[in-house]
Amino acid sequence: MLEISTILGYLAVIVAVVLGISFGEHGLDFTLLGNFFDIPSIFITLGGTTFALVASFPLSAFKRIPSHLGLIFKKSKKDPYEYIEILTELSKEARKKGLLALEDKVADIEDEFLKESVLLIVDAIEPDKLKLWFEQKLDFIRQRNQDEINLYNVGAAYGPAFGLIGTLIGLVNMLKAMNLDEGPEALGVSMSVALITTFYGAVIANCFFTPMANKLEIIHENEMVYKEMIVEGVISIKEGENPKYIQEKLLNFLEQKKEKKSKKGDAEPARISGDE
């Protein structure tokens, strides 16, 4: 299933920019779009941003870009309450037949992290060591996610920076043309580079990199909630807690996460507005 908000958001941005450029004194004039196509500006801004990112990150970071695009355009099929149901059933099975019986249930589990977690509690690992392993695993996942998001945050900074570089290049060329008295055409070309590079830098930062970073941040935060809930559930199963108690604990855990996320969402806009 497609993520409608992402698709509508990107389409609305494109339409808004195109209409803004094309709306002239006599209504819509799409030939005006040609004024905003400049090959030297593309080389400076898009090329500069891309190659600066290549210089800043290992090539392996760019292999994840297609999967990131898939993440933001596809709606997650995961249901947290379904996970709670699965963990509750596993706890009932473990309580009746023992932890070893869960090994037969692993084949029916699609989520790789849940599958790996269940296999771990089947082994005779002490709960304290198991908790430490899970903490390290979750810390690694958080760091990996943040590193992936950082690619887009850095890109959002590089775009306007190279737009400014293009502006400086255009202004230097314009002043040089004025000194050499090369005529209005040379001045016009240099001035177009000076202005359009700034436009390109702002567009790629605010229409691609920043939305990508924000969307991935939300996706990764939601993913961590699932993983933290799984960890809470499997450790409870390992410690032999009552299935009904485990179910209630996981439901409370989920509600607390939702409440925390809601408060965070309410607080952040006020802070941003205050900064502006």
d(CA 155, CA 162): 10
pLDDT of amino acid 80: 84
Question: Tokens at residue 61, please?
Answer: 């970071």
Sign of CA dihedral 114, 116, 117, 119: positive
Mean pLDDT by 10 residues, the chain (276 residues): 83 90 80 84 92 94 90 83 90 87 82 87 78 90 93 95 89 74 61 82 92 92 90 89 90 83 52 35
Helix (H), strand (E) at residue 91: helix 80-97
CA 63 to chain centre: 15
d(CA 237, CA 169): 64
Do 244 and 231 touch, CB atoms closer than 8 A? no
pLDDT of amino acid 273: 32
Within 13 A of 72's CA, how many CA atoms are on the CB side?
Answer: 22
Where exactly are the structural domains of the chain?
A: 1-34, 38-259
- Count other Cβ atoms within 10 Å, centred on residue 231: 20
pLDDT of amino acid 276: 34
Nearest of 51, 41, 46 to residue 197 by alpha carbon: 41
pLDDT of amino acid 265: 54
pLDDT of amino acid 275: 42
Question: How far are the Cα atoms of 104, 133, 187, 193 from residue 181, in angstroms, in the given order?
Answer: 84, 71, 9, 19
pLDDT of amino acid 58: 92
pLDDT of amino acid 269: 36
Do 155 and 53 touch, CB atoms closer than 8 A? yes
pLDDT of amino acid 272: 31
